[in-house]
A = this chain, B = another copy of it.
Amino acid sequence: MAAKNREGGSQPTINDVARIAGVSKKTVSRVINGSPLLNEDTRKRVQEVIRELGYVPNPQARALALRRNFLIGLVHDNPNAQTVLKVQQGILEAIRDTEFELVVRPVDRGMVNMLDDIRQFLERQRLFGVVLMPPISENDSLAELCRQIGCRYVRMGSAELDDPTNMVASNDREAVRDAIRYLIGEGHRRIGFVSGPHGFRSALERRLGFEEALEEADLKLPRSMVADGNYTFESGLLAAERLLDLSPRPTAIFASNDEMATGVLQAARRRGMDVPRDLSIVGFDDTPIASHIWPPLTTVRWPIATMARSAALKLTVSVTEGEQEVDEPSMFLSTLIRRGSVAAPPHN
């Protein structure tokens, strides 16, 4: 029993520290948690022992006693690796130097009992809170589920779908409107649009931005100028083929994300068209690929990492800052990044 802390491999516990320092567990606990009513000498002595033993509090025991753990979950069904990783980065930045950790949980979009799966995850792990990434964050039932089982959550999305304390949103609609305005300003009159998948709020918002800009400029375009995509490279390629088959064909195409924009570029290249001379292209997201293809893609930069960071802060701030609600913004502005894929339309 006296040699308890010498057992091979096992880490020292608060009892070991208390015994060696000649104080009670509680006092050690006070030192760890920085309680103000502590004799300076005692604190020093205990800290000395802690350092000597290399004592680290057991997070599981702590979580049990506090009835709360320090795990933030990231639930997502987003297929884009860049985006997912940026979100992870953002969250990690927010919880750096705190005792929180990040647990990732991708879910299958198609799965029938996806909600059950997530419910199980949340109930089993009893996470401190979860960040919900688009597109699954747009699912109101999921938010309702979180509320039901009493799990804090913050949704990331392209519109304000929830209370500001549970939401970080980007202004996709306005950003796209600006992008289309820019194309119109460059002289384009026939602008194709590659949409995101049906049922995605981001797809809808971007589409609405497109339509608002056209309306604003009093530009009437045939329905055929809008082609459906689903955020994948291939769908962008196919959509572009349809658009470029039109006569007269568009002089510019806005794709609702970069991956599809890359597909559009591919389609143009296959027809021997030069970008931007024969066709201007604008994407959305500003993923790394946007600046690595030729010509570099004019695109809308979506401050995804910042949003994720803010989302995580919203979750954790109640703990780290006490009651003082440092209010994180809930709206984030996307901006147009002008690169080389847009030019004035060709004379015809």
Binding site for B on A (CB under 8 A): 9-11, 54, 56-61, 63-64, 67, 69, 71, 81-82, 84-86, 88-89, 92, 99, 101-106, 123-126, 150, 233, 259, 262-263, 266, 269-270, 288-289, 292-294
**Apart from the given pairs A60-B63, A85-B85, 17 other A-B contacts in the complex at a CB distance below 8 Å:** A11-B126, A58-B64, A58-B126, A59-B124, A59-B126, A60-B126, A81-B82, A81-B84, A89-B106, A101-B103, A101-B125, A233-B288, A259-B292, A262-B292, A270-B294, A289-B289, A293-B293
B84 touches A124 (CB 8 A): no
A102 touches B101 (CB 8 A): no
Chain B residues within 8 Å of A105, by CB: 101
Decide: A59 near B125, CB < 8 A? Known: A64-B64, A262-B292, A266-B294: yes
Number of copies: 2
Cross-chain pairs A/B with CB under 8 angstroms, 18 sampled:
A56-B124, A57-B124, A58-B64, A58-B126, A59-B124, A59-B125, A60-B126, A81-B81, A81-B82, A81-B288, A88-B104, A88-B106, A92-B104, A101-B125, A103-B103, A104-B104, A289-B289, A293-B293
Chain B residues within 8 Å of A9, by CB: 150
Which 6 residue pairs spanning A and B have beta carbons closest together?
Answer: A60-B63, A81-B85, A9-B150, A81-B81, A60-B64, A56-B123
B69 touches A92 (CB 8 A): no
Question: Within the assembled complex, what's the spacing in Å between the Cα atoms of A10 and B89?
Answer: 32
Question: Within the assembled complex, what's the spacing in Å between the Cα atoms of A69 and B62?
Answer: 13
Question: Within the assembled complex, what's the spacing in Å between the Cα atoms of A82 and B11?
Answer: 37
Chain B residues within 8 Å of A259, by CB: 292
Chain B proximity of A297: nearest CB distance (Å):
13
- A74 nearest in chain B by CB position: B104
B60 touches A69 (CB 8 A): yes
